[in-house]
Amino acid sequence: MKRTIFFSAMLIMLVIVSGCRQTAESQLQDVSSKVLVSGKKPKNIIFMIGDGMGISQVYAGMTANKGHLNLEKCAYTGLQKTFSASDYITDSAASGTAMASGTKTKNGILGKDTTGKDVKTILEYARDHGLATGLVATSAITHATPASFIAHVKSRNQYEDIARFFIRHGPDVFIGGGRDNFASRKDGENLLDSLKAQGYRVIFSMDSIEQVKHGKLAGLTAPVHNPPMTEGRGNMLPEATATALNILSNDPDGFFIMIEGSQIDWGGHANDQKYVITEMLDFDNAVKQALDFAEKDGNTLVVITADHETGGMALNGGNLKTGKVEAAFTTKGHTAVMVPVFAYGPGAENFTGIYDNTDIFRKFMALYGFSATD
């Protein structure tokens, strides 16, 4: 008798599990929407990703900052769906690939579709059209989110293979951690020499990186990841953002850059509200740099979003006068909820409404006037 109940329970669970899988797969069929954009077109796009930044993370930062964040300057807001081709809950590799290339893929895969075929990213389209390109992150620059814009690998863990794509594609500027993936490799190769041979200035300290005004820059500020804000990262992200934008703005054809606040996600994984809030505020300081640049420039679109929410964070209390936050978490992992999109500048009005994460790529393509056959 007990056995029968056990097997029935197992059967029901199997049905539920395969049912969920089917839902994600079948939703996959109807995400290829036609994106038509209206209004003024930008020359430059600054795409900012707060990894793991759901509405609660944003509002926790807002509360800690006594009621306001720089990203509130964005008059246009929307929501995007984040599910991947394999899972209801995405990881950063699949959602990064979705936003970078307009293609849903399985969790763990970077820059390839579910069959293993390479998919071209917005950064690659921009480069092929003569625009300057850049990547900035507080994690290793070879980590899933920045890597999804440049690498094409079966697993996000292939860090040393991912580093090679920086040589192959040659973005004008990249600043982040991950020096070991270039310099202390299992194959003994020193990719820093290859970068130098390609005309890059290879620099390890933020003080020197900040002095760079033009040319190709590889800023590798940590052996692996940069430390959290709570362990003294300082203004690395806002400074890297300002430096990269200044260099890229030299290109008369325009630019595309992706800037990631990588560690909001890690605060969520740790269920550590102080970690989340300090990273959120740091990311918002980088947002200020981007918005200041865009305001002065007039031809720059800034789009700020997340790849997914992390921690199932909720705010059960707080105080806007004192900045006190009472957060709770439902999981150590990611969640499935839609994440916010904030937009500023020419073309920003196209980011209102509810849409799929793959549409972000399509909107960028249409705003630049690129066609997928180019």
Nearer to Zn ion, 178 or 346 (CB): 178
Indicate which residue of 84, 86, 92, 249 is catalytic: 92
Nearer to Zn ion, 124 or 265 (CB): 265
**Which position among 124, 172, 260, 265 is part of the footprint of Zn ion (CB under 5 A)?**
265
Nearer to Zn ion, 37 or 280 (CB): 280
Least gap, CB of 263 to Zn ion (angstroms): 10
Mask of contacts with Zn ion, 92-121, x by CB under 5 A?
Answer: ------------------------------
β-strand 353-356 against 132-140: which pairing, if any?
unpaired
Least gap, CB of 148 to Zn ion (angstroms): 13
Name the closest residue to Zn ion (Cβ). Answer: 265
Least gap, CB of 28 to Zn ion (angstroms): 22
Nearer to Zn ion, 265 or 279 (CB): 265
Least gap, CB of 334 to Zn ion (angstroms): 6
Q: From residue 144, give the alpha-carbon distance in Å to each of 49, 150, 152, 189, 278.
A: 12, 10, 11, 22, 22
Least gap, CB of 311 to Zn ion (angstroms): 9
Q: If binding means CB under 5 A, how many residues of this protein chain bind Zn ion?
A: 1
Least gap, CB of 92 to Zn ion (angstroms): 6
Q: Enumerate long-range contacts of 194-197, CB under 8 Å, 24 or more apart.
A: 194/167, 195/166, 195/167
**CB count in 10 Å sphere of residue 251:** 16
Burial of 1 by CB count in 10 Å (0-12 exposed, 13-18 middle, 19+ buried)? exposed
d(CA 149, CA 166): 10
d(CA 86, CA 22): 9
Q: Where would I find the H helices in 149-202? A: 159-169, 179-183, 191-197
Nearer to Zn ion, 265 or 284 (CB): 265
Q: Which window, 25-33, 94-102, 229-237, 265-273, contacts Zn ion (CB under 5 A)?
A: 265-273
H or E stretch including 268? helix 264-269
Active site residue 8: no
Q: Which window, 244-252, 260-268, 281-289, 291-299, contacts Zn ion (CB under 5 A)?
A: 260-268
Mask of contacts with Zn ion, 335-354, x by CB under 5 A?
Answer: --------------------
d(CA 200, CA 168): 13
Instruction: Compute φ and ψ for 134, nearest 5 degrees.
Output: -155, 155
Collapsing DSSP to helix, strand or coil, 180 comes out as helix
**CB count in 10 Å sphere of residue 337:** 16
Least gap, CB of 244 to Zn ion (angstroms): 24
Torsion (CA) 360, 362, 368, 370 in degrees, nearest 10: 150
Name residue, tokens 């893929």. Answer: 105
Nearer to Zn ion, 249 or 310 (CB): 310
Least gap, CB of 83 to Zn ion (angstroms): 15
d(CA 151, CA 147): 5
| Residues whose CB falls within 8 Å of the CB of residue 280, separated by 6 or more in sequence, listed in order | 50, 53, 57, 58, 60, 61, 64, 261, 264
Q: Tell me: does residue 239 bind Zn ion (CB under 5 A).
A: no
Nearer to Zn ion, 239 or 260 (CB): 260
Nearer to Zn ion, 311 or 347 (CB): 311
Strand partners, 216: 200
**CB count in 10 Å sphere of residue 132:** 23
Query: Footprint of Zn ion on this chain (CB under 5 A)?
Result: 265
Return the active site residues: 92
